[in-house]
Copies of this chain bind each other. A is one copy, B any other.
């Protein structure tokens, strides 16, 4: 029997899954991403998460057919090296993530871009199944994108899919990436929180930070935003409106360029807000569509929080031709 491992490396957490022959999830484990110790500490914690998932599934790591990793940063799929994973602390240089994990787990490890493998998972197993071309939009701390055309991943020269850094407003807001007017500067949860903090400092009333404290969170998580919207918090409504408008423009631009069949909305905020927000994004996109008689389908990612780890396992499966 064949089992595959999948690890999704996120800015705050590591998700690991063990999947079976039909990509069904046999077990999963989650660990926080270490903030100290740099890449080696992160790799050690990733190995630990996969071992935990293996133990829960009753499989030895070394008997996995292969394992896949979805990582932020610039990924060299051939060597397994990851360069400047900016979301992660002290990861400016290049680190041999694939080799380190392969050594630790005694199995073959393939490394891919986190957003691209999550898009692939939605394409093969989730909301993207009916389509041959799609754009994955992962709306979380940042806004990531994955592109699938004619059923194939489109990676460009390795850096494709940066939908979060498409320009929606020349001369617009400063983005965490240092540029200005990026989609992410309006729609990324990190940027939304920064704007909320600035507005609060200017004396604007909001319950966002009260909800955050009540829930014991260090930041404005997706669930904090959801609760604030439910309570009718004006600032939250305003900032989410701006994010939706920016997503409509950015995704609309991508559709005008590529005319893909479908857009799959995932990520922490995308999954948390779900179907009603996907509909709002589709509505915000529509006025920007050049071929507005033929809009793409807009769907919520179907695999939820495990989509990234499942997508990573698909990378392993494909690499061994299974």
Contact = CB atoms under 8 A, between A and B. Distances in A.
Contacts of A254: 257
Nearest to A186: B170
A301 interface: no
Interface string A248-283: 011011101111110000000000000000000000
Contacts of A156: 133, 258-260
A130 to B, nearest CB: 14
Nearest to A167: B249
A166 interface: yes
A252 B253 CA distance: 12
Nearest to A292: B179
Nearest to A135: B257
Instruction: Give the interface residue-count category, chain A.
Output: 35 or more
B165 A288 contact: yes
A158 interface: yes
B257 A159 contact: no
Interface string A143-164: 0010101000011111111110
Contact of A165 (B172, B261, B290): B290
A257 to B, nearest CB: 6
A245 B203 CA distance: 36
A169 interface: yes
B149 A256 contact: no
When all copies of this chain in the complex are counted, the total is 2
A250 B250 CA distance: 11
A245 B172 CA distance: 13
Nearest to A252: B167
Nearest to A177: B290
A287 B157 CA distance: 19
A157 B291 CA distance: 10
A32 interface: no
A246 interface: yes
A114 to B, nearest CB: 15
A258 B160 contact: yes
Interface centre among A74, A133, A159, A290 (most CB of B within 10 A): A290
Contact of A160 (B161, B170, B257): B257
B249 A181 contact: yes
Contact of A170 (B74, B154, B169, B256): B169
B167 A253 contact: yes
Nearest to A74: B291
Given A157-B294, A245-B170, A294-B159, A179 B288 contact: yes
B154 A149 contact: yes
Interface of A: 74, 133, 145, 147, 149, 154-163, 165-170, 172, 177, 179, 181, 245-246, 249-250, 252-254, 256-261, 287-288, 290-291, 294
14 contacts: A154-B258, A155-B259, A157-B261, A158-B259, A165-B256, A166-B253, A166-B257, A167-B249, A168-B168, A169-B169, A170-B249, A181-B288, A253-B253, A258-B258
